[in-house]
Amino acid sequence: MLVLPDRDAAEDVAQALGERFGVTEEPRLVRDALAGEDDAEDAQWLVVLRDEEGRLDPAELDEFAGEWEGWREEP
């Protein structure tokens, strides 16, 4: 799961995953509101992807997400 600061970054990351890592399955985008916040500006976006074969290197994904000011988290 990659955590991004906004929807635009999440959409860019979802598209770039296929180009950079050969991900063929469409990642799921999920809005994650911060606890106690109702304002849409105070939401992070999650890019949820499956890697059951373990092909994706966690360090590379973390660096990749960092290009959009995001990070990788284990679910």
Give 33's strand partners: 43
In this prediction the pTM is 0.84
pLDDT of 37 reads 52
Is residue 38 scored above 80 in pLDDT? no
DSSP string over 9-71? HHHHHHHHHHHHH---SPPEEEEEEPTT---GGGEEEEEE---TT--S-HHHHHHHHHTTT-E
Q: How confident is the model at residue 53 (pLDDT cuts 50, 70, 90)?
A: confident
